Structure 1
């Protein structure tokens, strides 16, 4: 079995005994017997990089009721040798320990804080079960059964973008208040930058080659030629691990595919919930913001940052936060300090989200990203270059490219 097969073949331990343990875990059900169940992959191949995920539809009975039905999402640590297992095990970050901590100790409290502030929309899926022994596994309610779905497109429209930034502000405000009240073990390390460098392609070199084809961007291309992917990665890592003007437990991997959405009757997105809390990191809120902003044209970002900040402070005030509120000037200082992440995410998130993968097999796409010629073609696609043309002149004018070149 290879690591792509592992995502499509349910493990033997997902059986009646395990499912009975899951349903009885929180004490709401007793005397459960599993009548029947069916397990299938919950996501597509390679959709979830640090875990394997399955959806199990269960028919069960208790002493009081017969033939009850439910659907659960089972998220487990990969076991087959390969990129997934290496990513999870070959560093000192405890991805599953962090996610278990978040769902068992933090996110429920966050929802209480938000509810008290008048923000009643769902924040995350309900956790039904978790365990670290004999295997690391979490089980959630199936959001699909509640009307939520994965995004149908990676680049949001204006209204969807507002929902993204508002939802992030809600999570940030709640976790910020929670830490201010003395909640323990919040200072965790995560994100891709505290893990071993595992980029499958040289994004900076590919970007530089693409920029050389744009008339009038010769100076920018020359600057990019002096920046290596590793140099940029290390610069980001250094910044990430320096405390900010104010800090909180960031999501650590906040992009479009780590949300699920519910539409209204007209088909427009009206609610979003956050998923995947394996990479949470204590530090500046700027990290999550620049991550999600990678799919937003630069000219539209400032209004969304202001929406985020206004929502963030509104929740703190309405929830009875007793500390000193961050100012917008302090917030802007953090965004400025993290500006070189704009270049990093341009080579990762923006390129990934502008790809039309609807007709492509994700496993094959992963393999293609190791082919230099294919990577260069991807970086020259018009949809991606539209982001490039808008962002890079700003990074040049504000000295960000020079700062990266001169960094040690």
Structure 2
């Protein structure tokens, strides 16, 4: 348990490490990684690795391993990521997922290949931190070098700056561009990345996900300025989940000749990024990487990453900046397919408007309440009254007062 810490700031299942996470286990991992059979761990301090609200789909610990080898004494800061072992909602919701196999594949296969292609093109962008250990049996575990001692940190108590966001979208554009090249030239190389949000049936049937539209419609009804929009959402309430699923699964089930497809991150929000003072950003948590429309990370970022002022224009400036880097990188790496166009990208974003509707009515109220420190993630996920409360805060209602007229201006409510 953390010493002299307010345990309320941590996830409850990260307060005490499982018994298997001990000096013997870490010693075996480091001995194998450093090819040093005589390595022996002499001290191991284990604490929670993340704050409440940072994540939900895993259990994470931070440790510093003190160890000896024939060359002397050393220490290595590590992050250990594993699946929930405590019985309860989290374990149940994630029980049938492919989260760890997907993330292991991203770290060991996809991202190394993406970096290799960038290096060949003279681009030294770093896309991921090395994974020093992974397993699926007897338990699902991944271990990484800790980025915090390297100067990286998660932004929690302030808005993300414009320059930081440009760094984020530049790196995302390079990743997407290289994945387009791989999908074009090696169509089977990434075929196992087929498990996004929709392929998590326990999650997608959870009230956290399914109850959002009802709460949203009730909020519209109570807000005089927004009442005129209620009929649009009443009209789609019975099939918006399926139409959103059609967007997410388009590459796998209904590929379009004019569609742009990439390997996306899938959960592209601020707590899945770590920033360094020199301006670099490192993406983490690749558990739902999958092949899908290029819009998935972009639209998700509008609601889960951007500041309100950027969201009110649906991220226009940042997405156009992203596109400029995407186009430049595709040319740099020798992409052989037809180059995407900025107009084509926005046409696709418009065509995928049901993903906007889902995110705005379900995830946005939750993420805003968490960012404003009004509600805790585990309470929102597990308690219906707490979830309903997220729709009543002025900061959420004020956002909707900006977003719905924008949707109307763009024609999102036509032909529903």
Question: Normalization by structure 2: what TM-score?
Answer: 0.85
Distance 1:356 1:104 in 2: 32
Q: Residue 70 of structure 1: which of 76, 84, 94 is its match?
A: 76
2:18 alignment counterpart:
11
1:306 aligns with 2:320: yes
Q: Residue 245 of structure 2: which of 216, 219, 237 is its match?
A: 237
Distance 2:198 2:415 in 1: 19
Q: CA deviation at 1:103?
A: 0.5
Go from structure 1 to structure 2 and tell me whether the alpha carbon gap of 1:78 and 1:185 turns closer, same or farther (over 3 Å shift): same
1:109-132 deviation line (CA, Å, top 9, x unaligned): 222333444543432221111112
1:52 alignment counterpart:
59
Q: Residue 340 of structure 1: which of 354, 358, 361 is its match?
A: 354
Distance 1:80 1:136 in 2: 14
Contact 2:247/2:354 (8 A) holds in 1: no
Distance 1:46 1:278 in 2: 17
2:286 alignment counterpart:
277
Aligned length: 391
Q: Helix, strand or coil: the match of 2:313?
A: helix
Q: CA deviation at 1:175?
A: 2.0
Structure 2 gap segments, 5+ residues each = 1-9
Q: CA deviation at 1:363?
A: 6.1
CA-atom RMSD in angstroms:
2.6
Q: Residue 193 of structure 1: which of 192, 198, 222 is its match?
A: 198
Structure 1 gap segments, 5+ residues each = 265-269
Q: How is 1:6-155 mapped onto 2 (pairs within 5 angstroms)?
A: 6-27=13-34, 29-45=36-52, 47-64=54-71, 66-90=72-96, 93-153=97-157, 155=159
Q: CA deviation at 1:403?
A: 4.4
Q: CA deviation at 1:27?
A: 4.6
Contact 1:154/1:354 (8 A) holds in 2: no
1:355-396 deviation line (CA, Å, top 9, x unaligned): 25575673663367421xx44443232322232122212323
1:53-79 deviation line (CA, Å, top 9, x unaligned): 111111111122x22011110111222
Q: Helix, strand or coil: the match of 1:354?
A: helix
1:289-335 deviation line (CA, Å, top 9, x unaligned): 10011134232611211111111121121223333322223322321
Q: Helix, strand or coil: the match of 1:282?
A: strand
Distance 2:141 2:392 in 1: 40
1:203 alignment counterpart:
212
Question: Normalization by structure 1: what TM-score?
Answer: 0.87
Distance 2:59 2:196 in 1: 19
